Amino acid sequence: MNSRKKQRQKAFKLLPFYRKVDYGSVELADWVTRAAERVKQKEIEVQAAIRRIVKIIERSGL
């Protein structure tokens, strides 16, 4: 099995709607952009949570 076919099969598992969307389409680009924005937002939330935890630890004197 060639690597292209493996990549495609992996994409089918990761993106259930992949088969319905033309790979180069605007829809997929929009989905990827939104996913990247969600990841960035989560990253910001995690960083804020870490800062809160650090402040709590500093205040408790640990």
Question: Domain coordinates of the chain in residue numbers?
Answer: 24-62
Per-residue pLDDT at 21: 54
- pTM of full prediction above 0.85: no
Tens of pLDDT, residue by residue over 2-60, are: 777 787 777 666 665 555 556 567 777 778 888 889 999 999 999 999 999 999 999 99
Angstrom distance (rounded) from CA 1 to CA 11: 15
Provide the pLDDT for residue 55.
Answer: 94
**Can you spell out the DSSP letters for 2-48?**
-HHHHHHHHHHHH-TTGGGS-TTSHHHHHHHHHHHHHHHHHHHHHHH
